């Protein structure tokens, strides 16, 4: 993966292809339905994967933090974590499942701070601080608010019902401040996990030619990407976090966000 920031500023919607980043690591927080009609228990899967390629799965260590934010209140979910084995197309790896109780209407901002992962091929650690979103009852409450993370992407479109054929815009922050010139990898979840079986379903898309899809943030930390297809889209701002070293090695502390797009019927 290419993990050096691109020295490009003032590009509101810069898109390019990065041939050196053919296999994009992406931390997932996944549940099939993000718009909830009724109160209840919501099952969640946490895995570190190459979802566009339906490829290699990486072992997750015990997360440092896992919580949801609802109406400004933090709900600790770490106690609900249970280790699982996720079997991808090529291998199997350690992952986690969890449960969220969604009683009240509003947004639930799922937030994961995973343990750093050692990528032997690059001799670096990767820590992808990840957000995903659920909504119950169509009541907007928290989705547009930053969560005070070391690094994060704040959505500027409601992340639970982006329209395919429209665009998604986000702002990259580190310690609450915009990150200019951040390199953002874009990933489509081609094979969504089968919840009961801890394996991927049938792929709905193939990897793009030319390597990873990349956008670059402008001087205000803002980027925009056109959403061509319904489904789950992930955005990873590489190396934008303030932590740069772990256990004596380079650390890429990334900000990841997942959004859900729908076709207009």
- Model confidence at 35, pLDDT cuts 50, 70, 90, reads very high
The rounded distance, in Å, linking the Cα atoms of 4 and 139 is 39
Q: Is the pLDDT of residue 7 over 80?
A: no
Q: Is the pLDDT of residue 227 over 80?
A: yes
CA 52 vs CA 45, 91, 170, 232: distances in Å: 17, 15, 21, 10
* 44 neighbors 75 (Cβ within 8 angstroms): no
58 secondary structure, DSSP code: B
- Model confidence at 54, pLDDT cuts 50, 70, 90, reads confident
Q: Is the pLDDT of residue 160 over 60?
A: yes
* 61 neighbors 115 (Cβ within 8 angstroms): yes
Share of the chain above pLDDT 70, in %: 91
Nearest to 186 by CA among 65, 21, 41: 21
Nearest to 185 by CA among 81, 50, 58, 66: 50
**Does 11 or 26 have the greater pLDDT score?**
26
**Does 19 or 179 have the greater pLDDT score?**
179
What is the per-residue pLDDT for 262?
A: 98
Lowest mean pLDDT among 80-84, 157-161, 166-170, 210-214: 210-214
Work out the mean pLDDT of the chain and round it to a whole number: 91
SS3 at position 78: helix
The rounded distance, in Å, linking the Cα atoms of 80 and 246 is 27
41 secondary structure, DSSP code: E
pLDDT in tens, 107-140: 999 999 999 999 999 999 999 999 999 999 999 9
What is the per-residue pLDDT for 38?
A: 95
Lowest mean pLDDT among 5-9, 50-54, 64-68, 208-212: 5-9
Nearest to 72 by CA among 171, 148, 128: 148
Q: Which CATH class is domain 14-262?
A: mainly beta
Q: Is the pLDDT of residue 18 over 50?
A: no
What is the per-residue pLDDT for 186?
A: 96
Q: Is the pLDDT of residue 40 over 80?
A: yes
Nearest to 27 by CA among 119, 151, 114: 114
Query: What are residue 130's DSSP bridge partners?
Result: 256
């Amino acid at each position: 993966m290419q993990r050096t920031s691109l020295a490009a500023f003032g590009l509101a919607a810069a898109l390019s292809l990065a041939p050196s980043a053919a296999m994009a690591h992406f931390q997932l927080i996944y549940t099939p339905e993000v718009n909830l009609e009724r109160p209840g228990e919501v099952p969640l899967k946490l895995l570190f994967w190459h979802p566009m390629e339906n490829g290699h799965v990486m072992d997750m260590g015990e997360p440092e933090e896992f919580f949801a934010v609802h109406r400004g209140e933090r709900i600790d979910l770490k106690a609900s974590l249970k280790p699982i084995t996720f079997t991808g197309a090529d291998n199997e790896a350690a992952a986690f499942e969890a449960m969220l109780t969604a009683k009240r209407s509003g947004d639930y901002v799922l937030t994961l701070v995973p343990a750093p992962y050692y990528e032997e091929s690059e001799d670096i650690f990767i820590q992808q601080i990840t957000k995903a979103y659920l909504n119950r009852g169509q009541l907007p409450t928290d989705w547009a608010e930053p969560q005070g993370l070391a690094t994060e992407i704040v959505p500027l479109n409601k992340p639970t019902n982006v329209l395919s054929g429209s665009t998604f815009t986000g702002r990259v922050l580190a310690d609450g401040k915009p990150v200019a010139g951040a390199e953002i990898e874009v990933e489509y979840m081609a094979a969504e996990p089968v919840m009961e079986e801890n394996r991927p379903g049938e792929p709905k898309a193939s990897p793009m030619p030319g390597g990873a899809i990349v956008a670059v943030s402008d001087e205000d930390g803002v980027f925009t990407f056109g959403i061509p297809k319904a489904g789950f889209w992930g955005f990873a701002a590489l190396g934008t976090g303030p932590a740069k070293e772990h256990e004596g090695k380079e650390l890429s502390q990334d900000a990841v966000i997942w959004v859900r797009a729908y076709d207009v019927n």
